[in-house]
Chain A
Amino acid sequence: MQEAGSTTFAAPPSRARKRWKLPRFYSDFVGRQVFAFLLALHGVGAFALITLGVLLRNFRVAQPVIRPLIAREIHRAGVQLLPMFFFAAVALGFLVIGQTVSWLTRVEAANNWLGNIMVIVVVREIGPLLTALLVLARVGTANVVELGTARAMGEVEALEALGIDPVHYFVVPRVAGMAVGVFSLTVYLILGTLVSGYLWVFIQEVPLLPGDYFRQLAGALGYMDFALLALKTCAFGFIIAIVTCYHGLAQPLQLNEISRATVRAVGQSTVACILLDALFIILYLAA
C-alpha cells in the first residue's frame, strides 16, 4: 500500500528539487483552476456560437416581441447610464490632462502633444475599457441576477412549453442592446473627456487655443481608430452579454447560487475584456 501523497515513480534525489517541489495541495489547486478555466471557456464559447446561430437564423422571427426587448436593453445599457458617464467623462478629462499638464509643463513644447496623449490614452485605451467595466458593473451583474432568477423560477421551461426559444427571447436582445450600449456610451465618454480635458487646460492657463487643441486631436486620429473603436466596443458588449447570460441562464440554478454565479460572471467578463483589449493593442501596433 502506498503512503498518501507519495508519487508512483521514484524521483532522483536532488536538493534543488526538494527545495522547490510544491506541496501536492498547490498542484491540485492549480490543476483544478486550469480545468475550471478550460470548462468555462468551452461552455461560454459554445453558448456564444449558439447565440450567434439563433441571432442569424431568427433575425426576422417574432419581431413584434423581440424589437421592444432590444429597445429596452439599449435603454438599460445605454440611455440610463448617461448621467454616470457624464460624470466619468468630466473626471477622466481632468485626470488625464491634469496629470499630463502638471508633468509636461516642465518639458519644452510639451503642449504640442496634448492632443496625441488624449487620443492614445482616452480614445484607444481607457475610454472603451472603462465603459465596458462600468456597463458590466451596472448592467452585466443585473443580467446574471435577472436570468438566474428566471431560470430558478422555471421561466425557461415555460418559454419552451410555448414554443419560444429562450436564447432568442432572453439572450439575443441583451447581446444586441449591450453591443449598441457599450459603443454609444464609449463615444459619449470620449467626446465628454476630450471637451473636459480642454476645460482643464483652460483652468491651468496653459497657452493652448481651442483650435490648436482640436487640430492636434484631429491630426492624431486615423481612420483605423474609428474602425477599431467600433469593433472593440461592440466586441466588449458582446462578451459581457454572453458571459453574464451564460452564467445566469445556461445552467440550472437555485436561488442561493445566483450570487456566486454573479461573482464568476464579473470575474470572467473582466478577464475576457482585458485579454481582448490586449489583442487590439497588437492590432494598433501592427497597423
Chain B
Amino acid sequence: MSETPANPKIPVLEMRGVTVVSLKNPDVIVAEGVNWTVKAGEFWVVGSPQHSGKTDFLMAVGGLSSPASGGYDFLGERMPIFEESRMAHRLKLGFVFDGGQLLGQLTVSENIALPLRYHGHLSVDEIELRVRSLLEITELVPWANSTPANVGRSWRQRVGLARALALQPEVLLLDSPLTGLDGRHTAWWLGFLDQLSRGHGIVGGKPVTLVVTADDLRPWRRYTGRVACLSNRRLIVLGDWRAAEDSKENVVQELLSE
C-alpha cells in the first residue's frame, strides 16, 4: 500500500524515446520514439482506433512488459520493476484490465481481497472491512460471493477496479474502461473516476493520477484534462482539449467526431 507521498517535483511517469512492442508478438512494434510525461494529479485519456495496440501500450506503461528501447521512469525509479525489494514502489501503480481479468477460481470478494491478503499489510478484520467498503462503493455487494463467470461483463470491470483500488494506488491505469457499457454504467464510471481524480475517501482522499485508454474520446471531454492519441506507431501528445480540437491529425478528428 502506498504510504510515502510522492515528491510533486518528480513526474509520475516519464518516457524518453521508448519503443513499445506487442506482448504476445514482440516482433510487432506498437509505438516508437515515445516521449511522454505525466505529472501528479493529471487525468489523461489516450485515444486510439480499435486494434492499434492500446492494451500493449498501457501494459508497457504499467510495467507489465519491458520497453524494447528507451527509458521509462515511474515516480523517479526505472521501470519495469520485478524485484521483490522494489515491489512496494511498484504497487503505487494500479492497473484495471479491459474486462477485469479476474481469477476465475475466486469469488468477487476473494478477488478484491487477494492483493491485501498476499501482501499482508492488514489484519483479517481490516481486510474484511476494506473489501466490504470497496464492494459497497462499486455497488458489487449482491455479487460478493459469486464467481466471475456468474457476473456480467460490466460488473466484472468494476471488480477489476475495486481490486486495483484495494492497495490504494497513487496512479491508476485503466484499459478501455467504457468498452461495452450501457449508459448507466458509463455515467457511473465517468463520475467515479472524476471523484478519484479529485480525491476519494476510498484512497485516503488524495487525488489519484489517472490514465485511461479509449476508442472514442467524446465521453471523456468533460472529465479528463489531458489528451494523447496512439496511431501509426506514434504517441501524439496533444495536451489539453483545446489543443486536441485544433489538431490537424486525422486520427484525432476521427476519435472526436465518431
Binding site for B on A (CB under 8 A): 57, 62, 64-65, 149-150, 153-155, 157-164, 169, 252
Contact = CB atoms under 8 A, between A and B. Distances in A.
Interface of A: prevailing SS: helix
Contacts of A57: 84
Interface stretch (B32-40, B87-95, B198-206, B248-256): B87-95
Nearest to B88: A163
Interface in B85-124: 87, 90-91, 94-95, 97, 99, 101-104, 114-115, 117-120, 124
Nearest to B119: A163
B62 interface: yes
A162 B115 contact: yes
Contacts of B119: 62, 163
B115 A158 contact: no
Interface residues of B, number: 28
Contact of B101 (A62, A157, A164, A252): A157
Contact of A163 (B90, B103, B124): B90
Q: Which of B91, B99, B117, B118 has the most CB of A within 10 A?
A: B118
A161 B24 contact: no
Nearest to A68: B117
A62 B84 CA distance: 13
Pairs A-B, 3 closest by C-beta atoms: A161-B95, A154-B101, A158-B101
Contacts of B24: 252
Given A153-B104, A154-B101, A64 B115 contact: no
A161 B97 contact: yes
A154 B101 CA distance: 6
Q: Which of A64, A158, A161, A252 has the most CB of B within 10 A?
A: A161
A62 B91 contact: no
Contacts of B102: 155, 158
Contacts of B94: 161
B97 A157 contact: yes
A161 B64 contact: yes
B59 interface: yes
Given A57-B84, A154-B99, A155-B103, 7 more contacts: A64-B117, A150-B104, A157-B101, A161-B64, A162-B91, A163-B87, A164-B118
